[in-house]
Structure 1
Amino acid sequence: MGLFGLLLVLHILASIAIIGFAFVMPIIRRSARTVGQLYFAFGITTKLAIMPKIGGAVLILTGVWLMIITKMGLSQMWLNVSILLSLLMVVMIDGWIEPRMKKIIKLISESQDQDNEIPAEFGLLIKKIVPIERAAQLLMIAIVALMVVKPF
């Protein structure tokens, strides 16, 4: 396996780290039934958040390196659209989802009764994040489809 193959494998593994996190963490959060479980779920999410950050850095570095090696640059429309969708996804995650998550985590950490059911106010805050998470997940699927199919 040459340099191209190694970079491609690293690129794919980095995308798996990001996509896996984005699809699994909302499921873990939604499985919580008590405030304590929700606090634990958010704790896991916070600790594992390093995975997509490292994956994102590796994804960018390997992607740029692959573009240089293949002398492709930004000449392919599918690649330009993929990059644009990726930037939009980063804005959604870092600009919309993460600040709302931090607010929920702060409220949960201040909650006294960890054994009680999740109060409606937490449920409403979490439900406001779900459409944004789904949109980010759809963007991820679109990006992967563009990378695999290279339609234009």
Structure 2
Amino acid sequence: MKFLVLIHVLSAIIGVGPTFFAHVLLRKKQTLEELRMSLSVGSRLEIFPKIGGSLAVLTGLLLFWLGDYGSFMQIWLFGSLVAYVIIQIIAIGFATPNQKKLGGWVLDPSNQKATTLPGEQVLLWTKARNYFYAASTVGVILFIFMIIKPS
């Protein structure tokens, strides 16, 4: 059981972790070249939430079924699951599409000589960053639920 808890905690950190610095990669006051590099790095990091997050949910469900946690409606357990789903909705449904559209323009070879972003891309940049801030906030709530859970 301790090994399953270890896998669960590590996969949760690895799965949700990139959410905590995605907005850093999209920080304000970057040059366009820095933004290109940030978007390139960000696209490589997408694999961690997909694998780690899925593994965290599976191991969490296993822990619930194998452990003595009582009712699924315990606030920390239910809240953790809801927080995780909200993070996924924000990241996959809102932040990532804006980030991908921005990356499509920024990383397009025909725009490599550009030195500033057009207004539409600035708006995408801002939206993606703000969505990632929201996902990070919910991630903090998720970890609070997991830390203060009953022993």
Shorter-chain TM-score range: 0.7 to 0.9
Distance 1:105 1:32 in 2: 17
Partner of 1:95: 93
Unaligned runs of 5+ in 2: none
Partner of 1:20: 17
Deviation at 1:119, TM superposition (A): 1.7
Distance 1:20 1:84 in 2: 17
How far does the alpha carbon of each residue in 1:33-78 deviate from its partner, in whole angstroms, 9 at most, with x for none? 3333322211111111101111011101110111011143514222
Alignment of 1:1-150 (within 5 A): 4-30=1-27, 33-72=30-69, 74-110=72-108, 112-114=110-112, 116-121=114-119, 122-150=121-149
Distance 1:10 1:31 in 2: 35
Is the deviation greater in 4-13 or in 125-134?
Answer: 125-134
TM (normalized to structure 1)? Answer: 0.85
Distance 2:63 2:111 in 1: 52
Amino acid at match of 1:88: I
How far does the alpha carbon of each residue in 1:13-36 deviate from its partner, in whole angstroms, 9 at most, with x for none? 112113321122321332773333
Unaligned runs of 5+ in 1: none
8 Å CA contact 2:23–2:133 kept in 1: the answer is: no
TM (normalized to structure 2)? Answer: 0.85
Q: After TM superposition, what 4+ stretches of structure 1 lie above 4 angstroms from structure 2?
A: none
Identity of aligned residues (%): 25
Distance 1:137 1:64 in 2: 23
Is the deviation greater in 52-61 or in 36-45?
Answer: 36-45
How far does the alpha carbon of each residue in 1:82-121 deviate from its partner, in whole angstroms, 9 at most, with x for none? 1112111111111111111111111112364535533252
8 Å CA contact 1:17–1:52 kept in 2: the answer is: yes
CA 24–45 in structure 1, closer or farther in 2 if over 3 Å, else same: same
Distance 2:18 2:77 in 1: 23
Q: In the comparison of the two structures, how many residue pairs are matched? A: 148
